[in-house]
Amino acid sequence: MRKFVLIIFLIVSCVSLQVDSAPPPPPAAFPSYDIIQLVISWPPTYCQTGNTCKDWGQIKKRFSLHGLWPADATGKSIDAKAYCSQGPTFSTPEQLNAWINTKANLFTDLLNYWPSIIKNSKDESVWTQQWNEHGVCSSSHICTNTYFEKAVDQSKKLDNLLEMLKKSGIEPHATKLYPVAKIKSAVQAATGKTNNVYISCSNIGQDSMLREISICLDKMAVNYVPCPVAQEPKSCKGPIKFPPFPTAEQGQPGPIEDLGFTELAVDNIPMLL
């Protein structure tokens, strides 16, 4: 009888051990993304509604990088909170900086090519937010520091975009109106491609003003590809304005439209190399 009880005990123990040691279910698969959108903002338009910008004298007179946004085949940006929560995110800018500093000169390049235009917002806070809300969805193909390298590389290619637009007859002006198609053609000429790009606007009073340009890249953020027409922005109303930068003497801009620069408190950081 004692032997029988012992056998039963061992069987139960083995079954319990197998149950206790069973591996956890695998995490949900990352959503498929097909392209990455390079989104650049025009500060004179942004700095009129929403959150407060820095003084004009502190904002570089060029397009400001908003982010690299993974998107699906229709051009719709992937919702990181809904679909990429299992990816590596950062709860503080210091955590992100540890990754950025593994690449020589990357931090310095980011300060130059991806500065914050928001008053009292650190550059690192912007990078952290953009990774947490968008970049993390590219983790299936691009690791964290490579994502920021690609942001710098693509920004460098467009560093003289204003000059290139000027060659096509598009330049900032207080009263001139430009057909959206003409701005698109000028951006295409600047990139050397005929790929479709997105132009979006802010409508302030009776004026429709250039707000952002989105240029689509392949999923490794290397080559230009066409932006899908399914997500073509419809915010521009007729010919639009391309407002100039005010002078530094004109003081601090008004508040700017939400660029998504909200602080996040997320802590989910498996190591990526």
Q: What is the pLDDT of residues 60-115, one digit of tens each?
A: 999 999 999 999 999 999 999 888 988 899 999 999 999 999 999 999 999 999 99
Q: Domains in the chain, ordered, with CATH?
A: 35-256 (3.90.730.10)
pLDDT at res. 186: 96
Dist CA 200 CA 209 (whole Å):
8
pLDDT at position 212 over 50: yes
Average pLDDT value for residue range 123-145? 95
Q: Which helix (H) or strand (E) holds 40?
A: strand 35-41
Among 5-14, 36-45, 215-224, the minimum mean pLDDT is found in 5-14
pLDDT at res. 211: 95
pLDDT at res. 252: 53
pLDDT at res. 175: 96
pLDDT at res. 22: 44
pLDDT at res. 133: 96
Work out whether the CA dihedral 121, 127, 130, 132 comes out positive or negative. Answer: negative
Dist CA 168 CA 190 (whole Å):
9
DSSP bridge partners of 212? 41, 200
Which amino acid makes up residue 63? Answer: F
Average pLDDT value for residue range 172-179? 97
Work out whether the CA dihedral 98, 103, 104, 109 comes out positive or negative. Answer: negative
> pLDDT class for 2, splitting at 50, 70, 90?
very low
Percent of the chain scored above 70 by pLDDT? 78
pLDDT at res. 163: 96
pLDDT at res. 46: 86
pLDDT at position 145 over 80: yes
pLDDT at position 241 over 80: yes
Q: How far is CA 261 from CA 8, 126, 146, 182, in A?
A: 61, 6, 21, 31
Average pLDDT value for residue range 150-168? 96
Q: Which residues, in sequence order, are CB contacts of 168 under 8 Å at separation 6+?
A: 182, 185, 186, 189, 190
Q: Of 2-11, 40-49, 62-71, where does the model show the most confidence?
A: 62-71
> pLDDT class for 247, splitting at 50, 70, 90?
confident
Q: Of 141-145, 153-157, 250-254, where does the model show the most confidence?
A: 153-157
pLDDT at res. 250: 53
